[in-house]
Amino acid sequence: MFLNKPLWRTLLWCMLLCAANGAYGQDTVVIRGSSFGTLHEVSLRDSLWFFHAGELPQGKRSLNSTNGWNALHYTAFGKSDPPPGWQGLGWFGLWLKVDTNLVGKKLSFRINHDGASEIFIDGKQVGGYGKVGHSAQQMEAIRAPRDLIPLWFNDTRPHLITMHYSNYFGVYANFLGFEALIGDYEPFSKHITHSRQLFSFVPMCAAAEIILGVLHFLLFLFYPRQKLNLYYALFVLLVGINSICIYLFYFTSFPLVQYYADFLTQECKVLMMWGAVMLLYVLDYGRVPRWRVVALTGVNMLYFIGYFLNYFILRANVHDDYFSVVFFVCIMDGFWSAFHLIKKKQRGVWLIATGVVAVVLVYFFAWADVFHLWTYELNSVRVFVMSIGQLILPLCLSLYLALDFARTNQNLAAKLAEVEKLSAQALAQETEKRERIAAEAKRLEEIVQQRTAELSEKADKLREMDVVKSRFFTNITHEFKTPLTLIINPANELLSVATGTDATKYIRLILSNAARLLRLINQLLDLSKLESGLMEVSREPLDFVALIRMHIHSYESLVVQKGIRLHFASDWDKLWIPGDRDKLDKIILNILSNAIKFTDNGRVEVLLQKDTGAPGNVLSITVRDTGRGIPASKLPYIFSRFYQADPSDTRSAEGTGIGLAVAKELVELMGGQIRAESMEGLFTEINIRMPYQVAEAGGSPLAETVYSEALYSTNADDSALPVVDTDKPLVLLIEDHDELREFMQQSLTGKYRVISAADGDAGIALALEHIPNLVITDLMMPRKDGYQVSATLKKDEKTSHIPIIILTAKADMDSKVQGIETGADAYLGKPFDKRELFALIENLINVRNQLREHYSSRDLWFSDVLSMPSIEQDFIARVRNAVESHLDEEGYSADQLARDIGLSRTQLHRKLKGLIGQAPGELIRIIRLQYAHNLLLRRVATVSEVAYMVGFSSPASFSASFSRHFGFAPKTVGVM
């Protein structure tokens, strides 16, 4: 009653604090300077820890107390002895204090684990490794057994070390937990540095071993008869790989990598024994007895398979497998072979004996440590000795092989002297042979002269035949012009009187393609004239600048349409020269049209300049584009007749390979030169240099004739009509020729719904999006050709059922067979009859409808699924499994089924309708009823129970649906 309230509260808090310190004091680990010993470190794994399974409760996460946590006396636990409640994640706490000698001294904290950790001292995070997660997918496991976390304790009070730790992988079955260690930072840091220096020799030795192995393997490739080099290379490469695995085992940050390195070290140990013994066998026997090879290989295979099963199947702890005994027996048997060589007094064999003895000593005294000579702190020294020792046998063998090679060279030198002696004898015989050969050569020369005369005669006949061919070619080309004239002129007359939009469009289509064919015929005639030397050059005054401007103007609408720029620059405003207007037109048009045709973005530049570096008057015309370019390997051939840089079926531009050949020959006919430069993907530049003379201004004005052809045309709606669910079949048309695509689309529209694409990639995308009833595809298209379209759609389960028609001008049997092999259902050659195409479409759609009706009748597709193609069987099986896995879910809908299958609802609906004629909702109901029928037939449950088991909301609705589907009530199943 004499104490005031603040003083009373102070005394109460002091009493509670003393009680708390007394409680924790009995659970506190005391670290003293004398605890460190020779290792300067002490392990905490057997100390008293406190453990809390899983995460701490929300809002109660305190890292300053272990109240309510379970006691734990061993942290390096495995799958056989986990703490209570351990599911891969938990909190571990340890109360620790230091004596007065360690207050303020720099200490080290080290942790060895195969999981992920966050380390706290008195609630403050001081380190951690990896990423702690609530599942194996969220966790990132990291090892850091040689990383030191510096610690300082400024008093002797208890401090709480807390670890947030997770390990879901269990790389090593007997090491799910961790080992924490605390030590004196400075001396232990020096120990770690020294250990790393010793370990750094391991990869250096591995590199030396691998270099030796590769060197001797190359020697074997150059001289395969010396099998010793092969076995030596195999053995040394295995030693090098083993050294790399040892280094990874100790220094990798990833537990799984350490586990695989440990496994490979064991396997390399077995293979190294096999390689060493086989090497010794080959040294003695040359050809090793088969029974020895079989016995040695059998023993090695047992260990090889045993280690694999132990690491990846059984996941058992390491046990004594007596490999050291087997190793000693096998290596002694191999050493017996080396002893045979010693008895034969073969030079240098003592090197092999030394290497074998070194292998035995290294294995028993360092690798396996049979006699337990190496303590924990000397482990790095043991690995260093083992790495250096593994080099002894390869070095000894290399010296032995080098000495053997030197002896072989001496023997070869002796043989060479003998060969020289024999060569002198053979020289005399050779002289006699030469005289005979000279006589024979004279006789052959006479025969060659005779054959040459015969070939000359045949060449004259071939030239005569070539003239006949050229004459025939010219005549038949002229003959083409008459029917073309009768096509173009009546079409022009029809165009002037046509009234309907469709009629006008078709007539313009006829005229455009007739003009295109006429230009091709004129080019062929020019080639024929140039070949026969009948082409003449006329000279009339013309303004060459105006001529080029006129042609550039004719391409303005096309370049605007393609979104590129066309630029012209000239050193003259006007340049009057005597020239051949027709030939200059053809040269400029061919070069300019090619540049625009193969440029999809950027610009085309035309430069007209005076060539000041050439004597006399020489003009230079340069056409440079930023198109796709020409490969360097094909550039020398672009001016050859009928050559195309891209002859594939997927080229993006049409052509015959005539234009540049005609341009080149016309330029050379007028005394000029033409050359090309290009870099694939960047640019192409055509340069023409031609002599000229200045003419008087005048002459006839240039006619405004449009010479360019519509290389490209736009189609505002490439995919035609949006997909609407009507009764008309949906047809996908894939054709890169715009006019033909538009014509076919108009022809098909009315009887079918049509969507279209201009290349193979776009066609495949539309097919996967809309699931049409039929696909019509051209063969030769950009990006993907018809074969690739057919193969892609037939291999995709969304579109594998769709009939495909391939249209092409390739009518040969090989092309047809290739199309059928890719899965195409029909192959129609161009030009085709519209009636034939419609008949083919109707036939394929009817066949598909018949198959759909066949499978849609009752539950036939359940029992007759094996008659479907394999890809359709797999799809049906996936659908049925998805539904059966949700049988008891009343709300399982078509949307959920589509998500489970990986399709959109529309895609699933069209696929099932096209395949078995059933909608997804109807299919779900049929599968439920079929499953219910089987349950009732096996008397698994009552009708009411079965109704709920298959996802019906009530037995009444189930009975009604069952009766409608099967024609009898569910209660009669098994009774009838």
Give yes or no for residue 512 having a pLDDT over 70: no
Angle between helices 323-343 and 255-285 (to 10 degrees): 30
Query: Helix (H, G, I), strand (E, B), or coil: what is residue 150?
Result: strand
Report which residue type is found at 578.
P
Q: Which of the 8 DSSP states describes residue 692?
A: -
Model confidence over 446-463: pLDDT tens digits?
A: 888 888 888 888 877 777
Report for 61-70, 80-89, 331-340: range of highest mean pLDDT: 80-89
Which of the four pLDDT bands, split at 50, 70 and 90, describes residue 603?
confident
| β-sheet bridge partners, residue 731 | 754, 774
Predicted pLDDT at 706? 42
Which range (221-230, 540-549, 848-857, 893-902) has the least confidence?
848-857
Query: Is the CB of residue 756 less than 8 Å from the CB of residue 798?
Result: no
Residue range 919-943: mean pLDDT, rounded: 73
Euclidean distance between CA atoms 519 and 538, whole angstroms = 21
Euclidean distance between CA atoms 705 and 445, whole angstroms = 63
Euclidean distance between CA atoms 487 and 470, whole angstroms = 26
Is cis: bond before 782, omega within 30 of 0? no
Give yes or no for residue 8 having a pLDDT over 60: no
Give yes or no for residue 758 having a pLDDT over 50: yes
Model confidence over 769-790: pLDDT tens digits?
A: 888 889 998 887 777 888 888 8
Helices (H), 200-345: 201-222, 227-251, 255-285, 290-309, 323-343
Predicted pLDDT at 527? 62
Euclidean distance between CA atoms 235 and 397, whole angstroms = 11
Burial of 52 (0-12, 13-18, 19+ CB in 10 A): buried
In this structure, the chain runs to a length of 976
Which range (464-478, 566-580, 892-906) has the least confidence?
464-478
Give yes or no for residue 722 having a pLDDT over 70: no
Instruction: Report the share of the chain in percent with pLDDT over 90.
Output: 13
Query: Is the CB of residue 747 less than 8 Å from the CB of residue 740?
Result: no
Residue range 690-709: mean pLDDT, rounded: 61
The token pair at 470 is: 């050229």
Nearest to 766 by CA among 738, 740, 792, 787: 792
Predicted pLDDT at 182? 94
Query: Is the CB of residue 728 less than 8 Å from the CB of residue 775?
Result: no
Predicted pLDDT at 942? 75
Euclidean distance between CA atoms 915 and 899, whole angstroms = 19
Main-chain phi, psi angles of 445, to 5 degrees: -60, -40
Predicted pLDDT at 128? 93
Q: How many Cβ atoms sit within 10 Å of the Cβ of residue 830? A: 12
Query: Helix (H, G, I), strand (E, B), or coil: what is residue 178?
Result: strand
The 3-state secondary structure of 26-89, one letter per residue? CCCEEECHHHCHHHCEEECCCCCEEEEECCCCCCCCCCCCCCCCEEECCCCCCCCCCCCCCCCE
Q: Which of the 8 DSSP states describes residue 151?
A: E
Give yes or no for residue 604 having a pLDDT over 80: yes
Q: Which of the 8 DSSP states describes residue 602?
A: S
Model confidence over 179-228: pLDDT tens digits?
A: 999 999 999 899 888 888 888 888 888 888 888 888 888 888 887 877 77
Q: Which is it for the CA torsion 759, 761, 764, 766, positive or negative?
A: negative
3-state helix, strand, coil in the chain (%, to 5): 55, 15, 30
Nearest to 617 by CA among 570, 546, 671: 671
| N-term to C-term CA, the chain | 97
Give yes or no for residue 709 having a pLDDT over 90: no
Burial of 321 (0-12, 13-18, 19+ CB in 10 A): middle
Predicted pLDDT at 206? 85
Query: Is the CB of residue 606 less than 8 Å from the CB of residue 592?
Result: yes
Which of the four pLDDT bands, split at 50, 70 and 90, describes residue 139?
very high
Euclidean distance between CA atoms 922 and 778, whole angstroms = 37
Model confidence over 934-946: pLDDT tens digits?
A: 777 777 677 777 7
Predicted pLDDT at 712? 35
Query: Is the CB of residue 648 less than 8 Å from the CB of residue 779?
Result: no
Give yes or no for residue 856 having a pLDDT over 50: yes
Give yes or no for residue 113 having a pLDDT over 60: yes
Nearest to 726 by CA among 693, 743, 749, 742: 749
Euclidean distance between CA atoms 809 and 778, whole angstroms = 9
68: left (phi over 0), alpha (psi -120 to 50) or beta: left
| β-sheet bridge partners, residue 312 | none
Query: Is the CB of residue 535 less than 8 Å from the CB of residue 587?
Result: no
Give yes or no for residue 97 having a pLDDT over 90: yes
Predicted pLDDT at 489? 63
CA distances from 544 to 29, 195, 538, 588, 591 (A): 102, 85, 15, 11, 16
Give yes or no for residue 282 having a pLDDT over 90: no
Q: What is the overall mean pLDDT for the chain? A: 77
Predicted pLDDT at 531? 64
In sequence order, the 6+-apart residues with CB closer than 8 A to the CB of 408 are none
Residue range 150-178: mean pLDDT, rounded: 92
Query: Is the CB of residue 919 less than 8 Å from the CB of residue 956?
Result: no
Q: How many Cβ atoms sit within 10 Å of the Cβ of residue 638? A: 19
Query: Is the CB of residue 61 less than 8 Å from the CB of residue 91?
Result: no
Predicted pLDDT at 107? 93
Predicted pLDDT at 87? 92
What is the Cα Rg of the chain in Å?
45
The token pair at 327 is: 């190793």
Which range (275-284, 621-630, 952-961) has the least confidence?
952-961
Euclidean distance between CA atoms 593 and 554, whole angstroms = 11
Which of the four pLDDT bands, split at 50, 70 and 90, describes residue 176?
very high
Q: Which is it for the CA torsion 735, 741, 747, 753, positive or negative?
A: positive
Nearest-5° Cα angle at 180, 174 to 184: 145
Euclidean distance between CA atoms 355 and 275, whole angstroms = 14
Angle between helices 659-669 and 501-532 (to 10 degrees): 50
Euclidean distance between CA atoms 542 and 694, whole angstroms = 10
Predicted pLDDT at 163? 94
Strands 673-679 and 753-757 come out as unpaired
Give yes or no for residue 152 having a pLDDT over 50: yes
Q: Residue holding tokens 């995919």?
A: 719
Residue 679 or 933, more confident: 679
